[in-house]
Amino acid sequence: MKPINLQNVKESIEGSFDRLPVGAYPCIITEVTDYPNSEYLSVVVDIVAGEYERYFDKPFYADKPFAHSLVFSYKESALPMLKGRLHVISDCNTGYDAESAFYAGNEQSLVGKVMGVVFAEQEYFNKKTKEFEYGSPQPARLCRLTPDELEKPENKEPKQVPMTEKRKIAAIRNAKIATTDEDARRWLKQYEADKAAGGATASYSTSPSAPADTYNGDIPFMM
């Protein structure tokens, strides 16, 4: 075989890959899907520059869009946040008016647009261990594509994003631990008490007579 120089090649272990560090990255929108019944867009992104360029263009992520997507809710209560995000996208793409495109129902024009995305560790419920944990960094918010924005301390080293109680209740029901919000809230209260005391996972459980609804309008996907 021909001589191969491995001196400047970074070693990797089979079956593993580098974990994406938290921080702000220049990203491109690769896919947009509308869910009109739930009033949100799923906006899938990938990194377009730097060491982690095309990080999500791997077979591992082929069936995991939730790992690199943002939810653009257009419910009445979410419109201020939506407008802010569309403004950021417009600022990052000269000559493009994201708000006008959205108003015209042309959400697919978002595909190919660039912006900064802050990836932060986000809390989720592990169904196997029945624990609330922080997983690999996922898109948390947008930022502008300027050195100042990308290097802001709160973007470069973002804080972990905890789940709200409402999302925790939905996650517990989705895991079929409880069939009602009341039961899920009781389980969560015991879980938090056990954790505060340094104990194991909450022992409280219910015996569901029917599967819990796997979809919650405010949680379009679940880990």
The predicted structure's pLDDT at residue 6: 67
How far is Cα 87 from Cα 81, in angstroms, rounded to an integer? 10
- The pLDDT value given to residue 197: 87
The predicted structure's pLDDT at residue 162: 96
Strands (E), the chain: 23-35, 40-47, 69-73, 114-120, 123-126, 131-134, 138-143
SS3 category, 211:
coil
* C-alpha span between 106 and 110 (Å, rounded): 8
Q: Which of 123, 101, 136, 181 is nearest to 21 (CA)?
A: 136
Which portions of the chain are predicted below pLDDT 70?
2, 6-17, 199-223
Question: Tell me, what's the pLDDT at 188?
Answer: 96
Spell out where 38-186 has E strands: 40-47, 69-73, 114-120, 123-126, 131-134, 138-143
Full-model pTM = 0.78
Q: What pLDDT sits at residue 170?
A: 96
Task: Pick left, alpha or beta for residue 107 (phi over 0 → left; psi -120 to 50 → alpha; otherwise beta).
Answer: alpha
